[in-house]
Amino acid sequence: MNILRLFKKELEFHKLQAGILTLVVFLILSYLRGKISSPGGFLALSSISFVVLFVAIFITTYTTTKREFDQGTIYFLLQMPVTLEEILVSKILAVMFEGAIIALLGSLISYGYFISYEKIPAIPGDLVAKVILVIVAISFPVVTMFYFSFAVRIVARRFSGLITFASVITVLYIDKFLMTILAPFGDTPILIARYFYHHIYINVQVSLQDFLFYLLSGLLSVIAGILVIKKFNTL
């Protein structure tokens, strides 16, 4: 019960960087998997994805736990009848839960988008469908940017505005560059989105294997975290 209460607090007041990092890892892995066609490549990638997921979960949990120590809020938590291990487990669970939800949302967005895309010819008066697709294609980067600015604010409060602004400009330039490349195919947002997401569409949906990796990574993070706490706890 104590872990659940701590878990709830983590979800309510937790920053979004854990989810962002997990999403990024998922997207990169999915993209790579889409690129690899040989069975050997898949096997290698599976091993890599396990390690990467573990590192991602561990780093994000470590960061949030370290912040509790740095800001002294660990003393607030330890006023309650809880152990350091329970605090750590609740944090790892929150990181994994948030990561899974965001990955799932990313998956649903890309899935919904491509289903719609495939069905475009069959939809009567496909102008509506096209409008919807354009909205999705525009809103996805906007949402990503929102998350990005959130993350920047957490790690670099002082220059967050500047960093976010510079990033937006950079992304716009990249976008312009891609538009040039895609020009022969017609420079509509749908095509740009297709270029970005078609690998993700195939692979981002969490497979059973990914899910098991995710759980195993979490378990390993718990063990590693407890070992770190035992070794470096300076309270």
Scan for tokens 């929150």, then name that residue: 94
Identity of the residue, 4 or 215, whose beta carbon is nearer to other proteins in the bound complex: 4
For 186, the token pair is 């017609």
- Which of 9, 130, 153, 199 contacts other proteins by CB under 8 A? 9
Number of residues that bind other proteins (CB under 8 A): 19
Distance CA 13, CA 98 (A): 12
Identity of the residue, 61 or 110, whose beta carbon is nearer to other proteins in the bound complex: 61
Identity of the residue, 74 or 220, whose beta carbon is nearer to other proteins in the bound complex: 74
Q: Within 10 A of 119 (CB to CB), how many other CB atoms are there?
A: 11
Work out whether 80 is an interface residue with other proteins (CB under 8 A): yes
Identity of the residue, 73 or 139, whose beta carbon is nearer to other proteins in the bound complex: 73
Distance CA 208, CA 70 (A): 38
Distance CA 19, CA 146 (A): 13
Work out whether 235 is an interface residue with other proteins (CB under 8 A): yes
The footprint of other proteins on residues 130-169 (CB under 8 A) is none
CB 102 within 8 A of CB 23: yes
- Which of 44, 48, 51, 76 contacts other proteins by CB under 8 A? 76
Q: How far is the CB of 44 from other proteins (least distance, A)?
A: 42
Distance CA 206, CA 29 (A): 11
- Which of 35, 42, 73, 162 contacts other proteins by CB under 8 A? 73
Distance CA 183, CA 188 (A): 9
CB 204 within 8 A of CB 106: yes
Closest residue by Cα to residue 202 from 88, 53, 45, 34: 34
Identity of the residue, 82 or 101, whose beta carbon is nearer to other proteins in the bound complex: 82
- Which of 37, 39, 40, 79 contacts other proteins by CB under 8 A? 79
Work out whether 234 is an interface residue with other proteins (CB under 8 A): yes
Angle made by CA atoms 141, 155, 79, in degrees to the nearest 5: 120
How big is the chain by its Cα radius of gyration, in Å?
A: 21
Q: How far is the CB of 109 from other proteins (least distance, A)?
A: 28
Work out whether 74 is an interface residue with other proteins (CB under 8 A): yes
Residue 123, phi then psi, degrees to nearest 5 = -80, 125
Identity of the residue, 73 or 207, whose beta carbon is nearer to other proteins in the bound complex: 73
CB 5 within 8 A of CB 89: no
- Which of 35, 41, 44, 83 contacts other proteins by CB under 8 A? 83
Work out whether 232 is an interface residue with other proteins (CB under 8 A): no
Work out whether 170 is an interface residue with other proteins (CB under 8 A): no
Binding site for other proteins (CB under 8 A): 2, 5, 9, 13, 71-76, 78-83, 233-235
